[in-house]
Amino acid sequence: MKHIGWCLDNIQIAMMDMPKELTSEESKKKAKQVIDDVQKYADTLVDLIRNPEFKKTIHKLEQAPIEGIRLQAHEVEELFKDLEHALHVIDLTLTELREILALKFHDEKDIRRWKRSYDKLVLMIDQKFGGERGELRKEFQINLHTKEQLQDIVNSEKHLAEFLK
């Protein structure tokens, strides 16, 4: 879960660098870079969540020895559904941002849609996975994967290096 939390955190952090306007080639280039960065974190998130062993691993939270992190079976299933939903929202948001970015001209309606789209993603992560103080919930602080599992699951060498630090 720690690694899923890392991906979610980094998606939010990357989105903070998103240009508010698409008025110059530089802002468009920056926006494309942010979208590409978020896509890489999303791809790693897919690797972790869609791994066949993930459901078994997430059920370990039912027996977590740390007080306040132990989840009931229905909470584990809800968390799994929330993570799947998050993957869907991330994919839709990145598609929408790419579509807007590809437009030759950006009118006021496009800019409002642009801002609403990336704000929606950050807000969704915070609402579904955030705690009272803005950090991710305690479940995302537990390391449920071994080094070997991560090496088998994660395709991004850069992200794998971060996980194995």
Label residue 35 by pLDDT band (50, 70, 90).
very high
50-54, 75-79, 143-147: which is most confident: 50-54
Any idea which of 6-20, 49-63, 135-149 has the lowest mean pLDDT?
135-149
Q: DSSP letters of 30-78? A: HHHHHHHHHHHHHHHHHHHHSSTTHHHHHGGGGG-SSTTT---HHHHHH
User: What pLDDT, on a 0 to 100 scale, did the predictor assign at position 116?
Assistant: 92
Q: Which among 160, 153, 155 is positioned nearest to 52, based on CA atoms?
A: 153
What token pair was written down for 42? 């999303």
Tell me how many helices (H) and strands (E) the chain has. Answer: 7, 0
Label residue 65 by pLDDT band (50, 70, 90).
low
Q: Which among 127, 104, 101 is positioned nearest to 114, based on CA atoms?
A: 101
Angle between helices 25-49 and 73-102 (to 10 degrees): 150
User: What pLDDT, on a 0 to 100 scale, did the predictor assign at position 67?
Assistant: 60
User: Which amino acid is present at 53?
Assistant: E
Q: Does the global pTM surpass 0.75?
A: yes
User: What pLDDT, on a 0 to 100 scale, did the predictor assign at position 74?
Assistant: 63
What token pair was written down for 60? 């370990």
* pLDDT at 46 > cutoff 90: yes
Q: Can you give the residue range of the structural domain that contains 151?
A: 2-163
Q: Across the chain, what does the average pLDDT equal?
A: 85
User: What pLDDT, on a 0 to 100 scale, did the predictor assign at position 128?
Assistant: 85
User: What pLDDT, on a 0 to 100 scale, did the predictor assign at position 8?
Assistant: 93
User: What pLDDT, on a 0 to 100 scale, did the predictor assign at position 113?
Assistant: 92
Label residue 13 by pLDDT band (50, 70, 90).
very high
Number of domains in the chain: 1
